[in-house]
Amino acid sequence: MSKSETLVLLKPEAVKRQLVGEIISRLEKANFNIERMKLDCFPREVLAELYKEHKGKDFYESIVGGFAGEPIVAMILSGKDNVIKRVRTIMGSTDPAEAVPGTIRGDYAHHMEPDNIMHASDSAESAKREIELFFPEYS
């Protein structure tokens, strides 16, 4: 990754509730550039790799099994300065009950798991690994 980039996933709940356009609009208004984007139904193996650090936790199977084969929007976002931190700030707390109004999760997520609307990489290392996982042709 030569630019400052991150992976963002709009989970099946966001797609089903027709929030994709609104979420993308918020990200674009925050001056992020969409480098790549695709809507796809990803296999269990991809989701298992994405959430591998959570294997064995109560919610792991509901995420991996519940999202497999469901439509997900995957995006690579780029921008200036602290892209990962800025995206995560706009996204809001993982727990929607703690997410500040005005953040994406604060405004749209109803419950924490299995589907809290979206995922975003939490570090440069995670972003690199996750981009390669969802966009192997981009790496």
Nearest to 104, CA basis, from 6, 47, 21: 21
According to the annotation, is 89 in a ligand binding site? no
According to the annotation, is 55 in a ligand binding site? no
According to the annotation, is 11 in a ligand binding site? yes
**Residue 15: how many CB atoms within 10 A of its CB?**
16
According to the annotation, is 129 in a ligand binding site? no
- Written as six digits, the tokens of 98 are 């703690």
According to the annotation, is 67 in a ligand binding site? no
Query: Which one of 54, 110, 111, 119 is the catalytic residue?
Result: 119
Sign of the alpha-carbon torsion through 92, 94, 99, 104: positive
Q: Distance of alpha carbon 25 from its chain centroid, rounded? A: 15
According to the annotation, is 33 in a ligand binding site? no
Known catalytic residue: 111? no
Catalytic positions: 119
Bind-site residues for ATP = 11, 59, 88, 94, 105, 116
Bind-site residues = 11, 59, 88, 94, 105, 116
